[in-house]
Every structure is written in structure tokens, then in C-alpha cells.
Amino acid sequence: MTNNLEKRQITSPGEWEQVLQRLPDPHVLQSWEWGALKERQGWQVSCWLWHVAGEPQAAALLLLRQAGRLPVRVAYVPKGPLLDYGDAPLLVQVLADLEDLARRERALFVKIDPDVPLDLPPGQQVVERLRRRGWQPSREQVQFRNTMLLDLTPDLDDIMAGFKSKWRYNVRLAARKGVQVQEGGSDDLPLLYRMYEETSQRNRFVIRPEAYYRDAWGSFIQAGRAQPLIATVSGEPVAMVILFCYGQRAWYMYGASRPAHRELMPNHLLQWEAIRWAKERGCTVYDLWGAPEVLEEADPMWGVYRFKQGFGAELARYIGAYDFPTARLAYWLYTVGAPRLLAWMRWRHWRHSRDEPPTWS
């Protein structure tokens, strides 16, 4: 097949949409909308198609930008490239072309993080092929390595039957106690951000400025690829989720809640309505976006994992991110040397200032 394989760049959003929908498991982070968003954030974006006689075989949305103030560039194919990873000759050709693109663009490295299951034989074979070609496990996992997946092909009654009994009870409790879930829209963006900001402050995780989310959420809402759901109690917003949909998969990427009325279990009803919404849209998989690296209670995501597991979602382990360095010494300096130097400089500053020790994470 690779003897007749051709590569070309696509510059039309309509054509890119048609290509992705004809490939296995198209990902929302490979969509034209995602590329347009990243372009507004300073990335250079290009869309590449590998085809045989016009029939799509593989695709990669490639992001390229300067690495901060450093005089180097980095390349990234988020949740891609998209192809049949069981087709070894195709995979090898696509990898070779991405390596060549990185060299031609003078990128220090190119990163990929496709949804290739780690625990299945094809995943191990992909890892071996990556290593043989000089790809290295990335020190920076931009996206979650693992996630939780819920099969949406059964009917809704059977899906709920797969919930843990306490989760079924909480869904019904919330509905019985007056929690209501409504679809949101672009006009709700200020509210959605306020709730997300409150959640980040309470749970101590870092978020981006409001302008980023207004752009990211708003552009996907307007394109019909994202849907906010807002849970209310007596008209008061208490929780929200933002769902993304592409192909036959829905992603629960963002969520937030407030302390008020937590005893009414609004988050359980919210997830049930998200499942219903995704199934009504024709999705066959609900991706709850994120799971622990290691299944241990000490992992900071353990509570999130248990919550998602209660809805019948199953852990999916992927191979994670891999980098192809175009210059090994420079790559080591960028990924290992520079972080160590920064840590040492923080340590020296702490010793001289006698302030509290810095956080080493």
C-alpha cells in the first residue's frame, strides 16, 4: 500500500472535515477548530493527509511554534496522527514524514500522543517501532496518558444498570430533590468561567486566563462541537460540565461545581444528563478525560477516578507522548538541562533569601 501512498497538505476546513470522518477514531484535538484555536494562540498550523488514489489513510494536524524566549521551535501532533496503527508500513511512512517535517521546519523535536492502547499487543508493537526509529518517551505529557471510557452502544436503561448502586441512587435523589440540568450557550460563558475559576481556587489547580476559555469554549459552541450543561437548584447554578463532540465520541473535558447544595448530588445528575446528551448525538463512546497514572489511593486523581468509575467507565491506558529529537544534545539541554538549571537557581535564591523552600514539582 505504501508504494502508492502520497502526502499532501490540506488548506480547506471542509476537506479536512471529510478526511477525518473517514479515518478511524477521529479526535477533537485533530479537528480544524482546534487548529484554528491554537493558531490564535500563536501556533503555526498545517494539516497533512496521506492517501492512496484519493482514499485517506492517515492524517496529522501539526502545531509548530517557538519555545518561549528560546531560539528553538517545537512541533506537536495532539492526539495524533490518525491512522490504523496495526498497519506497520503505513505507520513507518507517516513517522518518517513527520520526522522529515520537523527537520525541515527546524524544530528541536516533534511530539505525538495518539490514543493507542498500551495493554494490547498492537500498542506494544507501536512502542517498539517508535523506539527503533529514535522516538523517546516524553518527559512532558501534554494530555492525560490514561482516561476513562464508557460504552454508549447499550440502551440508556442498560447503561444506568452498569452504574454502581450508590451512583444510581444519587442520580435519582438529585432529580427527586429538585436539581435541574439545562443546556447552556455562548451567553453563559462568563458564568461558566466564574464557576471554573472558583473550582480551581478551591481545589488548587492552575487554569488559563478567562480570554482563553471564552475563545476555546465559545468557538466550539458556535461550531456545534461543544455543549455546556448547567445544574441548578431553585434557579441557582451549582455545577457545570462542557462536553465536546467529534465523530462518534464525546469528551467531558471541563467541569466545575460550587459548595452550595452538594448534598443534593448535582454532579451525579449532571453526568447522567451528559451521557444522555452524548448518546442522543449518536456517540458510541463517552470519554471522561483523565485517569491516574498509577491506580493508587495516593495519586491526586484517585478521587476523580473513583467518581468516574462509579458510572461504569473503564480505565483505558495509552502509550502516552513520544518525542522525536532532531538534535539529541539540544533536546537533552531543553528537556533535562534547562529544568535542572532552573531548579538549582531557585534553590540558590531560597538559600540566600531564607524564605520557605520552593515547590519542586
pLDDT tens per residue across span 145-189: 999 999 999 999 999 999 999 999 999 999 999 999 999 999 999
CA distance 158 to 65: 46
**Would 2-143+319-353 and 153-283 be classified into the same CATH topology?**
yes
Instruction: Specify the pLDDT at position 354.
Output: 45
Instruction: Specify the pLDDT at position 340.
Output: 58
- What is the mean predicted confidence (pLDDT) over 307-334? 96
317 beta partners: 146
243 beta partners: 227, 252
- What is the mean predicted confidence (pLDDT) over 298-316? 96
Q: Are 130 and 323 in contact (CB under 8 A)?
A: no
Q: Which three cell numbers stand for residue 100?
A: 522529515
Residue spans per domain, the chain: 2-143+319-353, 153-283
Average pLDDT, the chain: 93
Instruction: Specify the pLDDT at position 1.
Output: 52
CA distance 10 to 101: 15
Q: Specify the 3-state DSSP secondary structure of 6.
A: strand
**DSSP labels, 306-326:** HHHHTTT-EEEEB---EEEES
Q: How many CB atoms lie within 10 A of CB 13?
A: 15
The total number of residues shown for the chain amounts to: 361
- What is the mean predicted confidence (pLDDT) over 190-204? 97
- What is the mean predicted confidence (pLDDT) over 84-95? 97
Residue 357 has pLDDT above 50, yes or no: no
- What is the mean predicted confidence (pLDDT) over 248-274? 98
CA distance 60 to 99: 13
- What is the mean predicted confidence (pLDDT) over 201-227? 96
pLDDT band, residue 336 (cuts 50/70/90): confident
CA distance 135 to 71: 22
Distance between terminal CA atoms of the chain?
46
CA distance 361 to 128: 30
Q: Are 80 and 98 in contact (CB under 8 A)?
A: no
Pick the CATH number of 2-143+319-353 from 3.40.630.30, 3.30.565.10, 3.30.160.20, 1.10.1040.10: 3.40.630.30
CA distance 61 to 74: 14
Burial call 244-261: b when 16+ CB within 10 Å, e when fewer: bbbbbbbbbbbbbbbeeb
CA distance 147 to 150: 10
Instruction: Specify the pLDDT at position 346.
Output: 52
Q: Could you identify the residue written with the cell 490564535?
A: 40
Q: Are 78 and 113 in contact (CB under 8 A)?
A: yes
- What is the mean predicted confidence (pLDDT) over 22-37? 97
Q: Which residues contact 76 (CB under 8 A, 6 or more apart)?
A: 62, 63, 64, 110, 111, 112, 142
CA distances (Å), origin 220, targets 163, 210, 213, 243: 30, 16, 10, 10
Range from 55-64, 66-75, 293-302, 334-343 that averages highest in pLDDT: 55-64
CA 222, 200, 76, 6: dihedral to nearest 10 degrees?
A: -40
- What is the mean predicted confidence (pLDDT) over 197-202? 97
What is the sign, positive or negative, of the torsion defined by CA atoms of 325, 331, 335, 336?
Answer: positive
What letter would DSSP give residue 118?
A: S
- 153-283 has which CATH code? 3.40.630.30
Q: Which three cell numbers stand for residue 165?
A: 448502586
Q: In whole angstroms, what separates CA 10 from the centre of its chain?
A: 23
Looking at per-residue confidence, does 141 or 337 come out higher? 141
pLDDT band, residue 73 (cuts 50/70/90): very high
CA distance 359 to 41: 28
pLDDT band, residue 69 (cuts 50/70/90): confident
- What is the mean predicted confidence (pLDDT) over 314-329? 96
235 beta partners: none
Q: Over pLDDT 90: what percentage of the chain?
A: 88
- What is the mean predicted confidence (pLDDT) over 214-237? 98
pLDDT band, residue 339 (cuts 50/70/90): low
